[in-house]
Amino acid sequence: MDLIKAGSGKEVIIMVGSNLEEWKLFISGHPEYRTIDEARLSQIFQKAAPGKEISSVVDIYRRNRISRGEPATPGDLYMAIQTDLGFRLPAIRMAESQYKNGQSAYHYIFTWKSPALKGLMGSCHLLEIGFVFGTYDSEFCGSDPAVKILSSKIQDTWTAFARTGNPSCQSLGNWPAYGEKRTTIMLGRECLVTDAPFEEERQALEVLGETRPLV
């Protein structure tokens, strides 16, 4: 990341993003995900960010998830924060670095949720791959008509980006480049362009600075 910030890839237009619930792939089958309590959550964060005050970060995630109608158990908070530390924040930092170096970057968050394990997998790591290549299956990706529609849009925009360096296309619409507004496209049942999604959570994590993996 230091090299990217310094401009090592400033000639390269990038498209970068993450899935909304990446970490669910790794913990959905782990018993601690369902049994973790506040004390254990605090232990994990103290290991990840030693000497730093992390209770406010957890409170911010809890408050925002509740306001969006999302579950906010300690396990859910662990999943959300680890997803952002491990995937979303690095993607944002890469897009931000390219933008500041004068290069176009396009940022996305993939929000489609898997029906697998009665929905426990959510919008997990790797779920987008079947949509990109048109190899989606009913068990992992779903079987309703919206799966094919989303896959077609993603294939169109990935192809447009490969051909022209701009992911905008007829089926998806205009996808503005990342910039001061932190413009992001949400890829899911609806494909919506939005500015600075989940911004309060991002700001809370940035205050922590570099952290260790939450494992």
Tens digits of per-residue pLDDT, 110-129?
999 999 999 999 999 999 99
pLDDT reported for residue 126: 97
* pLDDT exceeds cutoff 70 at 166: yes
Separation CA 136–CA 148 (nearest Å)? 8
Predicted confidence band at 43 (pLDDT cuts at 50, 70, 90)? Answer: confident
* pLDDT exceeds cutoff 80 at 23: yes
pLDDT reported for residue 31: 73
pLDDT reported for residue 214: 56
pLDDT > 90 in the chain, percent: 80
Which residue type, as a one-letter code, is found at position 185? I
- Per-residue pLDDT averaged across 49-53, rounded? 73
Average pLDDT, the chain: 92
Separation CA 161–CA 16 (nearest Å)? 11
- Per-residue pLDDT averaged across 92-106, rounded? 97
pLDDT reported for residue 212: 54
- Per-residue pLDDT averaged across 135-157, rounded? 97
- 95 Rama sector, left if φ>0, alpha if ψ -120 to 50, beta otherwise: alpha
* pLDDT exceeds cutoff 80 at 98: yes
Answer yes or no: CATH 3.40.50.1820 is held by domain 2-206.
yes
Q: How many helices (H) and strands (E) does the chain have?
A: 10, 4
Block residue for tokens 């310094």: 6
* pLDDT exceeds cutoff 90 at 53: no
Separation CA 49–CA 54 (nearest Å)? 8
- Per-residue pLDDT averaged across 62-75, rounded? 96
* pLDDT exceeds cutoff 80 at 74: yes
* pLDDT exceeds cutoff 80 at 95: yes
Report the predicted TM-score, pTM, of the whole model to 2 decimal places. Answer: 0.94
- Per-residue pLDDT averaged across 11-26, rounded? 96
- Per-residue pLDDT averaged across 94-122, rounded? 96
Separation CA 59–CA 77 (nearest Å)? 9
The residue ranking higher by pLDDT, 7 or 55, is 7
